[in-house]
Amino acid sequence: MVFLHGLFGQGKNWTGIAKQLAEKHRVLLLDLPHHGRSDWLEHFDFAESAALVAGAVPADEPFTLVGHSLGGKVAMVLALLHPERVERLCVADISPVRYDESREFPGYFAAMRGMDLSQVVHRSDADRLLEPAVPDTTVRSFLLQNLRRDPDAPSGWSWQANLDVLARDLGVISGWPEEELAHAAPYDGPVLWLAGARSSYVQPAYDAAMDRWFPRNRKVTLKDTGHWLHSERPELFLQILQQFLGD
């Protein structure tokens, strides 16, 4: 099983769920390009990211692919471009459509890039500096997972995420690579499509796009749940995923 995180995330975000699945499955938690410990590339590209994910697993080992948000889009693109690699697919709170890039993310990028890291001695200092722009404690804590001590940086701190490139290419990240998928056939493997009831990333209007690309999808909506459904409702998320896997 291969797990892919969302924008600003890291593979370790899946640790709790992965530990529960590791008794029956070999589990791989990947950092997407421009995130965590993965390489920073010149630009963000869905097909390139999908190829790098596929390359992390031996070519003769088909796998179950689980992706949330941006990771869900990369997972969908991988299944469409390399269907022989993906046995089954779980897409968590994202759709194969273009979104309005003026959602909350430009504000997050601006706040993180605008922080004066020279004022950070302890992580609590970073939390205080980011609070005016990101008042939600949960979101702020999530974003600050990208901040790490760096002895080579003048301030002693640096961002693990490639904020400059990700911010510049937010239009690509918010979109859906129709041109790159022009010759791709629909993915005919089983697909679990999970949605948070309080999130706007999966809507009835997007059903047609999902059905077009993934005709064997089954949509499950988690009540009283927002966009980060696997962290908000980990036990329910795990239960539904295990049913999908036949565990």
Catalytic positions are: 69, 164, 227
Could you tell me if 217 and 191 are in contact, meaning their C-beta atoms sit under 8 angstroms apart? yes
Q: Judging by DSSP bridges, how do beta strands 147-149 and 191-196 pair with one another?
A: unpaired
Q: For residue 202, give the 3-state DSSP assignment.
A: coil
Bridge partner list, 91: 67, 193
Could you tell me if 70 and 94 are in contact, meaning their C-beta atoms sit under 8 angstroms apart? yes
Q: Tokens 């302890």 map to which residue?
A: 122
Amino acid letter, 18: A
Q: What is the DSSP letter of 187?
A: P
> CA-to-CA distance for 82 and 235, rounded, in angstroms?
31
Q: Tokens 């410990």 map to which residue?
A: 37
Q: How many other CB atoms are found less than 10 A from the CB of residue 176? A: 20
Q: How many other CB atoms are found less than 10 A from the CB of residue 136? A: 11
